[in-house]
């Protein structure tokens, strides 16, 4: 069975607080009759602060799609490698131990994918396989974990590196003043995350079953309108209601694994907003505290798209984990409306037990951004 090891997560150094976001909205949308509703929705997200790849003054300018996409590439090449090295160290592996890279991002575009650059820049093997995922949005973190699980099921000795690179601030569109756009302007943040799925060995979540589900006829609820100015985010007001049809799907997946979704030991869930977590708590019949890690990500970083599940999982690791043998679920939700879910058991690598003298590989030198 493959093991999802401890992720590595980094956020940029530029910070915008909730108070600053609200003040900006009041200044930039002073004549917008929908402003009071937008302010109320932003306040209700519970986001305390977000991190951006540029100072807010530069973020608010729109130099054109070409310039923004170039900035995406530059920032990705600057910020991804340190996070990758730490994720490899967490998994006790080196760059040449990786057999597949899954790269997920919905906030910029490169061709070839950044996977090709990583293989060359990090000195990975030339036969490393590449799987870029660009259009699953916030669900892509869960999808990457599931595709890594599938790959390791086919190749039991393989190791998979997952990279999530989301610079949501580069999708800011100053001319968009609908409620969905205004809400997203106060909700989304930037982050980079990486994690390794080991085909054997490792400490973390042993991946045992996964599933996908598409809510029929909801493909327009979360989407991009692609224009000369780049990606324009579209968010339907019905999106917060999606946990009612998805909670039974999660419950069924867990039941097919002979567990009870209301009695798991850990829950790592994409925090698109507070209502998603509140509704899951209600529909699954679990205490709200079960989603504390997802809520902490939302509070500290905002919605960081596909990186949310990795940051929430890292917080679970930091807490000490649920204990060996604990049962849990990871779930990401995004455009489609799509759910990507994985269930598994918490395990500890015997080679890392206290008193064991096996060497731990040291990460390459890096600095936190």
**Residues marked as catalytic:** 138
d(CA 152, CA 160): 8
- Decide the pairing of beta strands 100-104 and 230-235: unpaired
> 125 is written with which tokens?
């093997």
- Contact between 175 and 223 under an 8 Å Cβ cutoff? The reply is no
Asked if the peptide bond before residue 32 counts as cis, ω within 30 degrees of 0, the response is no
Helix axes of 292-301 and 308-318: crossing angle, nearest 10 degrees: 120
Query: Hunting for tokens 């829950």 — which residue is that?
Result: 267
CA distance 139 to 155: 24
Q: How far apart are CA 72 and CA 165, in angstroms?
A: 9
Element counts in the chain: helices (H) and strands (E) = 11, 14
């Amino acid at each position: 069975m493959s093991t999802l090891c401890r992720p590595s997560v980094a956020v940029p150094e530029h910070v915008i607080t909730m108070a600053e976001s609200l003040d900006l909205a009041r200044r930039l949308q002073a004549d917008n009759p929908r402003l009071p509703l937008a302010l109320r929705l932003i306040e209700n997200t519970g986001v305390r602060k977000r991190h951006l790849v540029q100072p807010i003054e530069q973020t608010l300018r729109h130099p054109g799609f070409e310039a923004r996409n170039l900035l995406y590439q530059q920032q990705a090449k600057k910020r991804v490698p340190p996070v990758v090295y730490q994720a490899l160290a967490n998994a006790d592996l080196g760059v040449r131990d990786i057999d597949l890279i899954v790269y997920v991002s919905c906030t910029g575009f490169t061709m070839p994918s950044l996977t090709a650059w990583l293989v060359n820049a990090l000195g990975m093997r030339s036969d490393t396989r590449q799987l870029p995922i660009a259009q699953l949005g916030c669900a892509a973190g869960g999808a990457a974990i599931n595709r890594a699980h599938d790959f390791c099921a086919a190749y039991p000795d393989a190791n998979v590196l997952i990279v999530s690179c989301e610079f949501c601030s580069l999708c800011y569109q100053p001319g968009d003043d609908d409620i969905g756009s205004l809400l997203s302007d106060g909700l989304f943040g930037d982050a980079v995350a990486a994690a390794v799925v080991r085909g054997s060995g490792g400490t973390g979540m042993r991946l045992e079953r996964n599933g996908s589900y598409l809510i029929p006829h909801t493909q327009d609820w979360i989407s991009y309108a692609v224009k000369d100015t780049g990606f324009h985010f579209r968010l339907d007001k019905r999106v917060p209601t999606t946990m009612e049809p998805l909670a039974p799907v999660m419950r069924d997946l867990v039941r097919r694994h002979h567990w009870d979704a209301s009695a798991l030991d850990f829950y790592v869930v994409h925090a698109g907003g507070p209502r998603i977590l509140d509704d899951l708590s209600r529909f699954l019949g679990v205490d709200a505290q079960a989603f504390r890690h997802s809520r902490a990500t939302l509070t500290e970083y905002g919605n960081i798209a596909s990186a949310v599940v990795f940051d929430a999982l890292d917080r679970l690791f930091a807490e000490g984990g649920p204990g060996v043998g604990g049962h849990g679920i990871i779930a990401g939700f995004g455009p489609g409306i799509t759910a990507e879910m994985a269930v598994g058991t918490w395990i500890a690598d015997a080679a890392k037990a206290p008193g064991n003298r096996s060497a731990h590989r040291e990460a390459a030198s890096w600095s936190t951004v």
